[in-house]
């Protein structure tokens, strides 16, 4: 049995910079999350963060995020794996987080954790809210999946791969998701982990479990009447258990004020 923690959408900025919402300390919410994981004895094998690591996406943001995630890793005694979201910037991430020279090369990888294969994909497209997996990455993925992993595979990316809960607007999902679905169908992929939507959404497609986590920075809720999304002071993360039988997800909702930061019209984001 393998257990891991799935966080998403931390939307962090370096200290001293204006945050996303004046009244929200996104940094404190990551600390609250890690403290909860530690104090409740979750004992994960790793932590996965599915993008929008940063809100502003500058080099200093990534230097700060790296130190925060390194501290989380030290406290929990396990590695932290990340993928990038639409608020992230590749070049600044490579410099600030990875300590590499600036480059717009997509960030994707494969990692084995006690026989479980984690494939991190880069669905982020610079300057766009929506996601896409480019052809080079797609053939790399196809190649990887030709050999099954001892304990199966999970895929992590920022933008959801299937239309969940009626969220259909361009910008919410991966543009070429049918193409990706064809690549992962019939392979040993058990689950696809994403974020971006700031809501807990779960779905199944072609036998593959799709999990979208709520996010630590805020949650986007549909107000009564479904006319607006309210961005609310909430903080959540998921505890994921993977074994021979399948995947179980426990969604954790940490105590927060639930006050509204802002709202945007839902028009165009939902279908019947
Ligand atoms: Fe986000
Ligand atoms: Fe996002």
**E strands in 122-188:** 153-156
CA atoms within 13 A on the CB side of 179: 14
| Proximal ligand: closest to the CA of 55 | 1
pLDDT of residue 18: 79
Instruction: Give the Å distance between the CA of 123 and the centre of ligand 2.
Output: 10
Residue located via tokens 């790793």: 46
Measured in angstroms, how far is the CA atom of residue 156 from the centroid of ligand 1?
15
**What is the Å distance from ligand 2's center to 15 Cα?**
21
Task: Phi first, then psi: give them for residue 204, nearest 5 degrees.
Answer: -130, 135
Distance 86 CA to ligand 2 centre (A): 5
Q: Domain map of the chain by residue range?
A: 2-265
CA of 52 to the centre of ligand 1 (A): 5
Alpha-carbon gap, residue 48 to 7, rounded angstroms = 6
User: At 74, is the secondary structure helix, strand, or coil?
Assistant: helix
Tokens 């105590």 — which residue?
Answer: 255
Question: Which ligand is closest in space to the CA of residue 172?
Answer: 2
The tokens describing 233, both together, are 């002071």
Q: How many angstroms separate the alpha carbon of residue 54 from the centre of ligand 1?
A: 9
Token couple for 138? 């797609």
Listed residue (187, 230, 190, 186) closest to 208, CA to CA: 190
CATH of span 2-265: 3.60.21.10
Handedness of CA 175, 178, 183, 184 (dihedral sign): positive
User: 183 and 138 in contact (C-beta within 8 Å)?
Assistant: yes
Q: What is the pLDDT of residue 23?
A: 84
d(CA 257, CA 263): 16
How many angstroms separate the Cα of 157 from the Cα of each of 90, 228, 254? 14, 26, 24
Q: What is the largest CA-CA distance in the chain?
A: 49
Would you state the pLDDT for residue 169?
Answer: 66
pLDDT at 244: 86
Q: Apex CA 127: angle with CA 129 and CA 31, to 5°?
A: 65
Residue 265: the pLDDT is: 84
- Residue 243: name the closest of 151, 137, 153 by CA: 151
Tell me the residue ranges of DSSP E strands in 116-218.
116-120, 153-156, 189-194, 201-205, 208-212
With beta carbons less than 8 A apart as the criterion, state whether 151 and 2 touch: yes
Per-residue model confidence as pLDDT tens for the chain (272 residues): 999 999 999 999 999 887 888 888 999 999 999 999 999 999 999 999 999 999 999 999 999 999 999 999 999 999 999 999 999 999 999 999 999 999 999 999 999 999 999 999 999 998 888 999 999 999 999 999 999 999 999 999 999 998 766 666 667 889 999 999 999 999 999 999 999 999 999 999 888 999 999 999 999 888 777 788 889 999 999 999 999 889 999 999 999 999 999 998 887 666 54
Q: Which ligand lies nearest the alpha carbon of 213?
A: 1
- Taking the centre of ligand 1 as the mean of its atom positions, its distance from the CA of residue 232, in whole angstroms, is 13
DSSP code, position 272? -
CB 165 within 8 A of CB 193: no
């Amino acid at each position: 049995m393998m257990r891991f923690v799935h966080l998403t959408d931390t939307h962090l900025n370096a200290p001293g910079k204006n945050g996303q919402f004046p009244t929200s300390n996104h940094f404190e919410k990551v600390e609250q999350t890690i403290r909860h994981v530690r104090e409740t004895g979750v004992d994960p094998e790793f932590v996965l963060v599915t993008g929008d690591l940063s809100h502003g996406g500058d080099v200093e943001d990534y230097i700060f995020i790296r130190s925060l995630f390194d501290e989380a890793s030290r406290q929990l005694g396990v590695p932290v794996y990340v993928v990038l979201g639409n608020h992230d910037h590749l070049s600044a991430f490579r410099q600030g987080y990875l300590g590499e020279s600036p480059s717009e090369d997509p960030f994707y990888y494969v990692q084995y954790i006690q026989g479980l294969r984690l494939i991190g994909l880069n669905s982020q497209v610079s300057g766009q809210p929506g996601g896409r997996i480019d052809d080079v990455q797609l053939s790399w993925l196809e190649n990887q999946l030709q050999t099954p992993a001892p304990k199966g595979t999970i895929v992590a990316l920022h933008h959801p791969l299937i239309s969940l809960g009626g969220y259909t607007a361009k910008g919410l999902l991966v543009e070429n998701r049918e193409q990706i679905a064809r690549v992962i169908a019939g392979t040993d992929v058990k689950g696809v982990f994403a974020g971006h939507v700031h809501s807990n959404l779960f779905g199944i497609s072609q036998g593959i479990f799709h999990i979208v986590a709520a996010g630590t920075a805020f949650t986007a809720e549909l107000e009564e009447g479904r006319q607006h999304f309210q961005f609310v002071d909430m903080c959540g993360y998921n505890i994921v258990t993977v074994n021979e039988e399948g995947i179980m997800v426990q969604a954790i909702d940490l105590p927060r004020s639930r006050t509204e930061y802002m709202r945007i019209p839902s028009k165009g984001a939902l279908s019947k």
